[in-house]
Every structure is written in structure tokens, then in C-alpha cells.
């Protein structure tokens, strides 16, 4: 039976205008060409990180070496987004094994973080941007796990470029300077944050101004000598726990000592002859997969790229998928409904049938069977064919806003991803990993023998933007035939909550009016972030890559 939303094209024909993939890019987006290289490639959100990772590749290191090196540099150059005070996830294509590996390096709630403790302090929802949200920072353990399993360089070698920039300084890039300045007032409220991240303790560094972080250089040197154990139960960990408890947080040294990253099996769905891979919960990757499954039967190309009909369909599928993950997704051990149940034919068909082609839903109920985020995403590929999809985050900008004096990095506030509503997989409790927004993605394509081969490593950073961003970029490529940089540049929507949706400026007034007629509420897009994508596609020989003009980054290869 043909799904009802196939009729969207007819219902909204008067509002819909098809935009061919080959039309010029909108003048409000920076024009970049797709980058091609014969041997290796890296794409990050900051040029110095890209350069550091590229140098590793050129000197014989592999994609995993380059990714960890770049991540450490981003801790220095984009400190509001990322660092060893946060969590990370990765999907690795191992050329040697010819298979995908997933890594979940997210930390757990402290043993003192109970629902009763939070309620006793007067909270009715999880606090935000608070020391009470500090969970075990898992990123450093993830960097270590990647290098131990797949790397060819030492941890000390991977940290060396970051130590150099932290010690000697670097010029701050424009978008990062803007993000930094928007957090100056919050940084000023914490002694460690003020001393570390504000120039003269009063303001953020300006674009082009040099900035040093000697405290972070010392921390990285300590890690280079003693290894990650210095954080997970050692002297650095003790300093973190002492300060967090002093400010009212819930971590103990035993919590840090008990932390272990986890290797996991990626999950996937087919689409248009390709296969999209995401990590299983406690992340939101299943939402992107569920969206794709709902969209698969529709003739999306006939609706027209970014037409009202097309956007309505994507927005409504996003609402349904997010209702499901809010109800069912959290710490895997606490989930009573497995992720696979949200992707089976019967469940997806029932959800798809709820899409009304004529009206936007307010708040869909979950099927019978989340939050902002400050994040970096990077991807790297090497001459041997290894590829890595890598994401690292503090959750909010500068995370909790807490910097342990003398350490040089902010602690995440990932505990804000929990809920105080009782009885859910994501209800706050000691030792649980909270619901995560950060999700790396990977796409494979079967060869003539039906064996999955690596095709694209990609991600779109930015909280709840990530699943809807993954879907939009992928559809740009597979449905509308855009080249990689065009697929990244193309204007996006971001559904916020209820009927509220933001549209990037190049989406014209006719489309906005048509969506309004369907009961969508179009909000001012100027205060909304539409994510930052990085992507690498494997070619029969060499690679192509793209980097989002919404960030300061770049793709580069050799």
C-alpha cells in the first residue's frame, strides 16, 4: 500500500519548488570545493587540529593515530566544545579485519548521584550547567583504548602537538572566539575557569589573538608520563574529586578508578543500496536509523529538496523517533526495550502511519513496544584503508563551567542528560551512563559479492541536531546526488520541540509560509545552531572529504 505522505507532493505542489543538486550553492553559505587526496585524509572543526592529524598521516601514522592527535589539539584550540573532561565515541573501520568496531567511552554517574539526593536539593528536573551534573569523564580512556587497539604511536607522541600549542600558544579562530565570548560571564563564576579561560580574568580571547593554556600543557605532560591511570584513580583524579565534592558534586575516587570504556557492536539499517551505521544506546544514534526507516518508502526526490513537502515529512519523522528514544533509550543495562525493537518492520510501519501529511504534530507519544550539546566531530582515513568516525563532547559549552584549578580543562555536565522521572531507562542513578546526544556515523556499501565495504565516515555535531543532521546530509548525497561539500553546505532545518522548527536563511519564504500553513511554528534561526559536519568518502583510489562552513575547520589530505 502506498503511504499517505506520498500525497504530500500533490497537497503542497503550489508551495514546493524543486532545487536541483547542480544549482549554485546559496550565497549565504561559504563556497568550498570537495577535497580530494590520493593517500590519506582528515577533516576537523579547527585548522590546527587538521594540520596536526595530517602530519601524523604523512609521517606514517594511521587514521586512529591522527584522530587522537587531532582530538588532543582540539582540547586546546576549541576548549568550550571538547576535551578530556568530557566523553567520546568512535566507529572504526579496520582495514586489517575488514570490519567495523564501536567504542563507547562515556562515563557513569557518581556513586553519590541519586534521585533522592537531587530531589532533596529541590530539583524537579535535572539541573543544567552545574557541578551536580559532573559524571566520570570518559574521553581520555577512549583515546587510550583506540591507540592500544589500533594505533601505531604512543600516547606521548599523540599528545605532543597539543602540548606545544598549550605551552606556546595559538591564534584563536573567529567562530571559536565568538562561542568563547558568549560564555565569558559563566566562566567568571568559577575560580578555575576564570583563571584558565579568561584573558586577565575578565574576557574571552578575540579572533586572531594568541592564547596559551600552560595548565593543560602540564596536565598532558603528566598523562604522557603516567598514562590515563593518573586521572582514573591517580593524583589528577583525586584533585578532580576533591574539587567536585567541595562544590557539591557527586563523584568519588572509586568512581574514577572503576571506569572502563566499552567496545560495542554498531547497529545499522539499509537505505538506497547503502547501509547507515550508528552506535547502540546509551546514545541517540537509533533515532537516525528509525528516521531513515520511516522515510525509505517515499519518493523524496519527487518532493523536491527542501520543499515544504519534503521538510514536513522529515520533521514529522524526527518527532516520532525522538519520542521513542526519550521513552526507551538510556543505560543499556536498564533498557527493557532493545534498540532493535524500534527498527523492526512492524514498529516502523506503525510509526510511519502516524505522519499526517496535512498537519504538524504537537508532541507525539512514544510507540508501544533531548538536549543541547557542545561537541567536536572529526574523521580520518589512511593509505591502508583504515577510517575512523570520532566524536568528543563536554555537553554544554565548557560543560559544567567547572575547571579544577591548575588542570587546564573543563569538566562535562553530561549528567544533565538524565531524567528525574522515575521508572525509565534514563532515570538518574549511581553507576548509570546518561542518555547521550553525541553520535559518530559510518556508511558502508556492499560489493558485487554482497560484502559490506567502507564508503563514508561522517558526523554532524550539535546535540539533538545530530540525528536529523545525519539524515539530511545522507539524503543530500543518496537521493539528490549532491557532491560531498554541497551535501554539507546545503541549508538545514532543526526541529526544536513541539511544533517549533528553525530553518536556515537560504530556505525561502514560500517554503516557510507553506510549513506555517501546516501548523509548524517557524522560529528565529539566528539563535539556533545547525550543526557542524565533517565527512570522508572512500573512492576506488584515494579519498574525498568535506568540512562544514558553519565551523572554523577544514579537510586536508596528502
Half-sphere exposure of residue 308, counting CA atoms within 13 Å on the CB side?
A: 29
Which pTM does this prediction carry? 0.91
pLDDT at position 100 is: 98
Burial 345-356 (b: 16+ CB within 10 A, else e): eebbeebbebbe
In this structure, what DSSP letter does residue 182 have? T
At 413 the three-state DSSP class reads coil
Tell me what pLDDT residue 435 has.
87
Q: Is residue 389 a contact partner of residue 379, using CB atoms and an 8 Å limit?
A: yes
Q: What are the cell numbers at 97? A: 579485519
**What value does the CA radius of gyration of the chain take, rounded to a whole number of Å?**
22
- How buried is residue 238: exposed, middle or buried, by Cβ count under 10 Å (0-12/13-18/19+)? middle
Per the CB < 8 A criterion, the answer to whether 426 and 331 are in contact is: yes
* All three cell numbers of 556: 586536508
379 is known as an active-site residue: no
pLDDT at 374: 64
* CA-to-CA dists, residue 321 to 293, 518, 521, angstroms: 10, 20, 19
Q: Which of 375, 379, 419, 437 is catalytic?
A: 375
Question: Judging by beta carbons within 10 Å of its beta carbon (0-12, 13-18, 19+), is residue 358 exposed, middle or buried?
Answer: middle
Burial of 261 (0-12, 13-18, 19+ CB in 10 A): buried
Between the alpha carbon of residue 421 and those of residues 118, 125, 372, 405, the distances in Å are 12, 8, 19, 34
For 312-342, letters b (16+ CB in 10 Å) and e give bbbbbbbbbbbbbbbbbbbbbeebebbbebb
List all residues 6 or more positions away from 22 whose beta carbon is below 8 Å from its beta carbon: none
Q: Are 170 and 77 in contact (CB under 8 A)?
A: yes
Using alpha carbons, select from 212, 86, 67 the residue that is nearest to residue 140: 86
| Per-residue confidence (pLDDT) for residue 492, from 0 to 100 | 97
Largest interatomic CA distance in the chain: 67
Full pLDDT tens readout for the chain, 558 residues: 434 433 333 333 333 333 333 343 343 455 789 999 999 999 999 999 999 999 999 999 999 999 999 999 999 999 999 999 999 999 999 999 999 999 999 999 999 999 999 999 999 999 989 999 999 999 999 999 999 999 999 999 999 999 999 999 999 999 999 999 999 999 999 999 999 999 999 999 999 999 999 999 999 999 999 999 999 999 999 999 999 999 999 999 999 999 999 999 999 999 999 999 999 998 889 999 999 999 999 999 999 999 999 999 999 999 999 999 888 888 888 888 888 999 999 999 999 999 999 999 987 766 554 444 568 999 999 999 999 999 999 999 999 999 999 999 999 999 999 999 999 889 999 999 998 888 999 999 999 999 999 999 999 998 889 999 999 999 999 999 999 999 999 999 999 999 999 999 999 999 999 999 999 999 999 989 999 999 999 999 999 999 999 999 999 999
Looking at residue 297, its pLDDT comes to 95
Q: Would you state the cell numbers that stand for residue 96, as one nine-digit string?
A: 586489517
Classify each residue of 525-552 as buried b or exposed e, where b means 16 or more C-beta atoms within 10 Å of its C-beta: beebbbbbbbbbbbeeebbbbbbbbbbb
Instruction: Quote the distance between the C-alpha of residue 456 and its chain's center.
Output: 16
Residue 425: its pLDDT value, please? 87
Question: Side-chain half-sphere of 34: how many Cα atoms within 13 Å?
Answer: 17
Query: SS3 of 544, please?
Result: strand
Amino acid at each position: 500500500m502506498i503511504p499517505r505522505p506520498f500525497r504530500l507532493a500533490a497537497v503542497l505542489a503550489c508551495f514546493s519548488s524543486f532545487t536541483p543538486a547542480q544549482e549554485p550553492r546559496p550565497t549565504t553559505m561559504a563556497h568550498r570545493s570537495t577535497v580530494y587526496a590520493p593517500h590519506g585524509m582528515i577533516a576537523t572543526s579547527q585548522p590546527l587540529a587538521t594540520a596536526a592529524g595530517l602530519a601524523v598521516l604523512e609521517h606514517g601514522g594511521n587514521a586512529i593515530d591522527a584522530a587522537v592527535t587531532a582530538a588532543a589539539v582540539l582540547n586546546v584550540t576549541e576548549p568550550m566544545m571538547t576535551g578530556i573532561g568530557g566523553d567520546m565515541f568512535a566507529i572504526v573501520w579496520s582495514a586489517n579485519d575488514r570490519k567495523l568496531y564501536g567504542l563507547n567511552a562515556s562515563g557513569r554517574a557518581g556513586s553519590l548521584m541519586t534521585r533522592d539526593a537531587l530531589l532533596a536539593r529541590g530539583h524537579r528536573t535535572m539541573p543544567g550547567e552545574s557541578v551536580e551534573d559532573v559524571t566520570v569523564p570518559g574521553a581520555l580512556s577512549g583515546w587510550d583504548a583506540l591507540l592500544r587497539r589500533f594505533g601505531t604511536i604512543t600516547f606521548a607522541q599523540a599528545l605532543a602537538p597539543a602540548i606545544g600549542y598549550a605551552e606556546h600558544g595559538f591564534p584563536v579562530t573567529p567562530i571559536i572566539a565568538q562561542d568563547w565570548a558568549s560564555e565569558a560571564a559563566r566562566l567568571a563564576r568559577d575560580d578555575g575557569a576564570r583563571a584558565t579561560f579568561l584573558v586577565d580574568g575578565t574576557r574571552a580571547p578575540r579572533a586572531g589573538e594568541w592564547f596559551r593554556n600552560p595548565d593543560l600543557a602540564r596536565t598532558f605532560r603528566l598523562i604522557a608520563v603516567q598514562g590515563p591511570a593518573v586521572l582514573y584513580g591517580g593524583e589528577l583524579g583525586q584533585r578532580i574529586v576533591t574539587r567536585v565534592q567541595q562544590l557539591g558534586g557527586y563523584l568519588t575516587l572509586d568512581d574514577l578508578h572503576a571506569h572502563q570504556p566499552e567496545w560495542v557492536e554498531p547497529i545499522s539499517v539499509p537505505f538506497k543500496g547503502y547501509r547507515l551505521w550508528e552506535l547502540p544506546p546509551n546514545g541517540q544514534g537509533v533515532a537516525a536509523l528509525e528516521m531513515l526507516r520511516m522515510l525509505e518508502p517515499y519518493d523524496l526526490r519527487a518532493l523536491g529538496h527542501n520543499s515544504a513537502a519534503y521538510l514536513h515529512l522529515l520533521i514529522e519523522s524526527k518527532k516520532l523517533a525522538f519520542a521513542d528514544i526519550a521513552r526507551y533509550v538510556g543505560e543499556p543495562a536498564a533498557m527493557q526495550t532493545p534498540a532493535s525493537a524500534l527498527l523492526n518492520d512492524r514498529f516502523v510501519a506503525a510509526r510511519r502511519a502516524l505522519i499526517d501529511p496535512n498537519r504538524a504534530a504537537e508532541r507525539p507519544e512514544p510507540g508501544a513496544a533531548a538536549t543541547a550539546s557542545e561537541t567536536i566531530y572529526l574523521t580520518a582515513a589512511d593509505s591502508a584503508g583504515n577510517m575512523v568516525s570520532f566524536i568528543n563532547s563536554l555537553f554544554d559549552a565548557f560543560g559544567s563551567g567547572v575547571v579544577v584549578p591548575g588542570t587546564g580543562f573543563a569538566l562535562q555536565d553530561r549528567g544533565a542528560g538524565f531524567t528525574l522521572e522515575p521508572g525509565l531507562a534514563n532515570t538518574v542513578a549511581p553507576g548509570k551512563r546518561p542518555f547521550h546526544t553525541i553520535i559518530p556515523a559510518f556508511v558502508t556499501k556492499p560489493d558485487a559479492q554482497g560484502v559490506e565495504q567502507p564508503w563514508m565516515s561522517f558526523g554532524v555535531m550539535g546535540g539533538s541536531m545530530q540525528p536529523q543532521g545525519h539524515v539530511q546530509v545522507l539524503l543530500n548525497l543518496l537521493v539528490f546526488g549532491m557532491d560531498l561539500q554541497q551535501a554539507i553546505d546545503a541549508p538545514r532545518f532543526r526541529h526544536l520541540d513541539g511544533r517549533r522548527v528553525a530553518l536556515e536563511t537560504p530556505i525561502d519564504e514560500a517554503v516557510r509560509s507553506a510549513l506555517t500553513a501546516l501548523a509548524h511554528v517557524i522560529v528565529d534561526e539566528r539563535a539556533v545552531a545547525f550543526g557542524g559536519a565533517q565527512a570522508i568518502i572512500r573512492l576506488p583510489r584515494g579519498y574525498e572529504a568535506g568540512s562544514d562552513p558553519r565551523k572554523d575547520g577544514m579537510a586536508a589530505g596528502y
